[in-house]
């Protein structure tokens, strides 16, 4: 019996090690609910008072200043009282705690204390929001869900694309009906191309005209040329394409005015023109000039045409998705005006703080700091804004080249034709000859 018992013991020990390793690697949801959540909840309750005192969240019921004759004496607060918290509630990716603020406190104080909370609770991150006056919601994320993002699901909807997964574990969806224009920034190899590829293959199956502008000779968007209704590979072609889109936009205005409606979505299905999504890769190539008169004129034309499409296109079914390594005022005053019209923002890893500030600074200062913390190893990770005005870390799904080519070929036959752009490009080719 001795050798058999020893063999069974060794087999059981090996099984424990194998299963334990799998659990540590993959972190299934049931492991969090059974093991992770109870331990973390105990840490939250046990450390809350000390964490509140060390991070200036506790408030004394007696004033820290007093009168000694004619002198005002200031001392340490006596008997500090920590804010009241609810019992931690489990979520799929972590837990949440509701805090009742002391009189005079604001959520900003809790934002400064997030690092202390992360270390005390031993979680990946803590987010601070204020669902109503007088309350703060602390949401702790147990592990980084963007390290191994799963394939989230989202309902199919026109002009809506499932890009990836949010830090909360939910689906990252870009809905152009809710947020009509988007700005995407990030350094080289940060994940911009991955995001654009995902966006295109998600929209390829829909009744949507895709127009690409890739002034790097079509190196990025040329992969999807069969599904694109038009592809401009240089700035001269971009001017022709954008000019044709402005003409088409004016025709759509006339159709809406004749029907007495304010957008193409109020037109009958038979009269509604096909939605157009213009995808610009490396916006700087449209604005930079070599100093010649012709180059300056082309740059000014691109600036004016893009701004007109951004200002007037949303109700007319024309949407912009603009990507670039840097989008700042150094490219020209037209860039700043265009940026103000691009309500959706996505910022990947950046090489300089100015790019993150340009992308997210006018929306949320906290998002800027988070975007600057993205490392080179986190390809595809970005800070994105939502339709509610909030922000979140997210990661786009990687689309292999073979899959992108297969999807492009599958929907080539359904590619909508844009007559105005076709005529403009044909005229341009005729002038070259």
pTM of the full structure = 0.78
Q: What distance in Å separates the CA atoms of residue 337 and residue 327, rounded to the nearest whole number? A: 11
Structure confidence at residue 336 (pLDDT) = 87
* 3-state DSSP helix/strand/coil % of the chain, to nearest 5: 45, 20, 35
Structure confidence at residue 366 (pLDDT) = 75
Query: Looking at beta carbons, which pairs linking 307-312 to residues 24 or more positions away fall under 8 Å?
Result: 307/334, 307/337, 307/338, 307/341, 308/246, 308/249, 309/242, 309/245, 309/246, 309/249, 309/278, 310/181, 310/338, 310/341, 310/342, 311/341, 312/249, 312/253
Count each helix (H run) and each strand (E run) in the chain, helices first.
14, 19
Structure confidence at residue 293 (pLDDT) = 87
Sign of the four-CA dihedral 15, 21, 24, 25? negative
Exposure string of 32-70, with b = 16+ CB inside 10 Å and e = fewer, is beeebbeebbebbeebbbebbeebebbbeeeeeeeeeee
The structure tokens listed for 154 are 């989202």
Structure confidence at residue 3 (pLDDT) = 66
Sign of the four-CA dihedral 385, 389, 393, 395? negative
Query: Looking at beta carbons, which pairs linking 360-367 to residues 24 or more positions away fall under 8 Å?
Result: 360/385, 360/391, 363/389, 363/391, 364/390, 364/391, 366/111, 366/391, 367/391
Q: Report which of 413, 433, 5 is spatially closest to residue 229, judged by C-alpha positions.
A: 413
The structure tokens listed for 385 are 């804004």
Helix 114-121 and helix 37-54, axial crossing angle in degrees, nearest 10: 140
Residue 362 · residue 334 · CB < 8 Å: no
Residue 248 · residue 418 · CB < 8 Å: yes
Q: Report which of 34, 29, 52, 60 is spatially closest to residue 120, judged by C-alpha positions.
A: 52
Residue 119 · residue 54 · CB < 8 Å: no
Residue 286 · residue 329 · CB < 8 Å: no
Q: Around Cβ 112, how many Cβ atoms within 10 Å?
A: 12
Q: Report which of 339, 368, 227, 213 is spatially closest to residue 281, judged by C-alpha positions.
A: 213
Tens digit of pLDDT at every position of the chain (433 positions): 566 666 566 555 544 444 444 444 445 667 778 888 899 999 999 999 999 988 888 887 665 555 555 565 565 556 788 899 999 998 887 889 999 998 888 888 888 888 899 999 999 888 888 888 889 999 888 877 676 655 566 667 899 999 988 887 788 999 999 999 999 999 988 989 999 999 999 999 999 999 999 998 888 899 999 999 999 999 999 999 999 999 999 999 999 999 999 999 999 989 999 999 999 998 999 988 877 888 889 989 999 999 999 999 999 999 999 999 888 777 777 888 899 899 999 999 988 888 888 888 877 777 888 888 888 888 888 999 877 778 888 889 888 889 999 999 999 988 998 888 888 878 777 666 5
Question: Using alpha carbons only, how large is the chain's radius of gyration in Å?
Answer: 27
Measure Cα distances from 78 to 47, 62, 66 in Å. Answer: 20, 7, 12
């Amino acid at each position: 019996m001795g050798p058999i018992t020893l063999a069974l013991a060794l087999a059981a020990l090996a099984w424990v090690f194998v299963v334990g390793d799998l659990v540590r690697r993959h972190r299934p949801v049931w492991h969090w609910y059974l093991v992770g959540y109870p331990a973390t909840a105990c840490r939250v309750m046990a450390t809350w008072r000390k964490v509140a005192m060390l991070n200036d969240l506790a408030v004394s019921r007696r004033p820290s200043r007093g009168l000694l004759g004619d002198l005002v004496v200031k001392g340490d607060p006596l008997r500090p009282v920590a804010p009241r918290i609810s019992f931690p509630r489990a979520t799929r990716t972590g837990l949440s705690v509701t805090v009742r603020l002391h009189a005079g406190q604001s959520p900003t104080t809790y934002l400064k204390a997030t690092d202390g909370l992360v270390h005390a609770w031993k979680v990946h991150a803590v987010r601070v929001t204020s669902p109503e006056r007088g309350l703060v919601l602390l949401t702790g994320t147990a592990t980084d869900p963007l390290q191994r993002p799963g394939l989230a699901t989202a309902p199919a909807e026109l002009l809506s694309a499932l890009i990836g997964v949010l830090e909360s574990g939910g689906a990252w969806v870009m809905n152009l009906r809710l947020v009509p224009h988007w700005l995407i920034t990030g350094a080289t190899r940060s994940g911009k191309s991955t995001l654009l590829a995902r966006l295109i293959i998600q929209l390829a199956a829909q009744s949507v005209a895709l127009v690409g502008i890739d002034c790097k000779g079509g190196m990025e968007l040329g992969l999807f040329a069969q599904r694109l209704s038009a592809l401009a590979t240089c700035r001269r072609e971009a001017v022709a394409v954008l000019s044709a889109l402005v003409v088409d936009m004016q025709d759509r205005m006339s159709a809406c005015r004749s029907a007495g409606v304010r957008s193409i979505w109020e037109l009958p299905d038979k009269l509604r023109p096909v939605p157009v999504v213009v995808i610009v890769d490396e916006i700087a190539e449209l604005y930079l000039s070599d100093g010649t008169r012709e180059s300056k004129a082309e740059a000014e034309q691109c600036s004016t045409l893009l701004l007109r499409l951004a200002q007037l296109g949303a109700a007319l079914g024309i949407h912009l998705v603009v990507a670039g390594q840097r989008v700042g005022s150094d490219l020209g005053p037209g860039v700043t005006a265009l940026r103000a019209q691009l309500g959706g923002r996505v910022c990947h890893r950046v090489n300089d703080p100015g790019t993150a500030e340009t992308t997210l600074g006018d929306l949320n200062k906290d998002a800027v700091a988070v975007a600057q913390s993205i490392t080179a190893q986190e390809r595809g990770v970005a800070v994105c804004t939502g339709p509610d005005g909030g922000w979140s870390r997210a990661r786009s799904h990687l689309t292999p080249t073979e899959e992108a080519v297969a999807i492009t070929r599958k929907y080539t036959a359904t590619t909508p034709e844009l007559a105005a752009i076709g005529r403009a490009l044909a005229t341009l080719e005729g002038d070259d000859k």
